[in-house]
Amino acid sequence: MKGPLPRCCTRLLLPLLPLVAVLAQLPAWAGSALSAWRLSSDGALELRTAPDVKLQAFFEEGRGGVGPRVWVDLPGAPQRTRTVSGNGVIRQVRVGRPDGATTRLVVEFQPGTRLDPSTLKVIGTAADRWRLEFSGAAAGVTPFGEGELEAPSTPTWRAQPLAGSVLPSAPLASVSSLPDVPRGRYKVVIDPGHGGPDPGAVGIGGLRETDVVLDVSLQVAQLLQAKGVQVLLTRTSEVDVDLPPRVALANNSGADLFLSIHANALSLSRPDVNGVETFYFQSAKSLRLAQMVQQQILAISPGSPDRGARPGRFFVIRRTVMPSALAEMGFVTGQLDAPRLADPGFRRRLAFAIATGLLNYLAATP
């Protein structure tokens, strides 16, 4: 296949096959949460998934002779990757696996197609049904797809938009809206705090710090990779990583910056305490990094107190040799912060905010 995947994905897909052959030779979806998909004649992408999955959706503007792309990530990897030729303004649809635990469905439009990202939405119409409308740009497409989209819906149907899309019933955030930096120049280490038997803070409703920070960290890494930044993560799953190995990974990597991502806590008896704070250790570059991250998190956290970019002596920022910061995105024990941190849509906005702060820092670094 000659058409590239979105920039955050480097896996090559199988050569283009005729649609009839693809449909005839489809294997089982295996562990993927995706059961079926279709481009409908009214210009919408329709999905059938496992019940109540968490989707992540992305938009990228066309450039350099490549049309705009919209892609959706779902948990579980398909058995194999494939490409289906489109028609009309849809150039092709690709099903890939950017890693061993994700299915990525990419809809690529013909060069010159205009999409307004502010109108793009992923809406849950049932617990296992999703619809992404392209604001009329794909109207008139001859329907095509894979799988049994019309299979009976799961009994857990709910007649309302479902949580789990990037921003449920809200516009998709655009990767192209993130600051640009020279592709391939920078390397960043993202450190999701805690993990495994160490859940970190546990807050209102049993909200665990480790779950919040791993989700946000993985999304930050994906966004940075989409902008051409190499990303290393100190952990990518619920495992326990001691502090010295986190520092050693960063110091041995030659990274340009290090960010440790956390959520704060005080006491369940003090839900009145909320706020965002970002710590740094000594250097002016680390202070500037902390300030840029703090500014962006605050911008999407209305009402949450600004606790400042503050000096701190945390091991991971004190012992790393590159500019480093530790972000506390809010209090899992706070009556304002906790519901936000528990919301997948808000965590998505946090990831965009943090990625923006890091890219702003890199862009301003000589």
pLDDT for the residue numbered 366: 74
Q: What pLDDT is attached to residue 4?
A: 37
Query: Rounded to whole angstroms, how far apart are CA atoms 331 and 24?
Result: 52
Using one digit for the tens of pLDDT, what is the confidence trace for 248-262? Answer: 999 999 999 999 999
pTM across the whole model: 0.59
The per-residue pLDDT for range 316-326, each reduced to its tens digit, is 999 999 999 99
Output the pLDDT for position 345. 84
Could you tell me which of 91, 83, 94 has the C-alpha nearest to residue 109? 91
Number of residues assigned to the chain: 366
Predicted local distance difference test score (pLDDT) of residue 118: 67
Catalytic residue among 60, 133, 146, 328: 328
- Vertex 54: Cα angle to 172 and 42 (nearest 5): 50
pLDDT for 101? 82
DSSP string, 318-362: HS-SS-EEEEEEEETT-TTHHHHHT-HHHHHHHHHHHHHHHHHHH
Under-50 pLDDT residues of the chain: 1-29, 154-171
The pLDDT of residue 194: 93
pLDDT in tens, 19-70: 222 223 333 345 688 989 999 888 889 999 887 777 778 888 777 778 888 8
The first and second tokens of residue 14, run together, are 């199988």
- Tell me whether residue 148 is one of the annotated catalytic residues: no
Beta strands in the chain (DSSP E): 34-39, 44-49, 56-60, 69-75, 82-85, 90-96, 102-109, 121-126, 129-133, 144-146, 187-192, 230-233, 257-264, 276-280, 306-311, 324-331
Please, what is the Cα angle at 217 between 266 and 257, to 5 degrees?
100
Domains within the chain, CATH numbers bracketed: 19-146 (2.60.40), 178-364 (3.40.630.40)
CB 84 within 8 A of CB 92: yes
Which sign does the torsion angle of CA 113, 117, 118, 123 carry?
A: positive
Q: Which residues contact 138 (CB under 8 A, 6 or more apart)?
A: 39, 43, 44, 88, 89, 90, 109
Number of Cβ within 10 Å of residue 239's Cβ equals 11
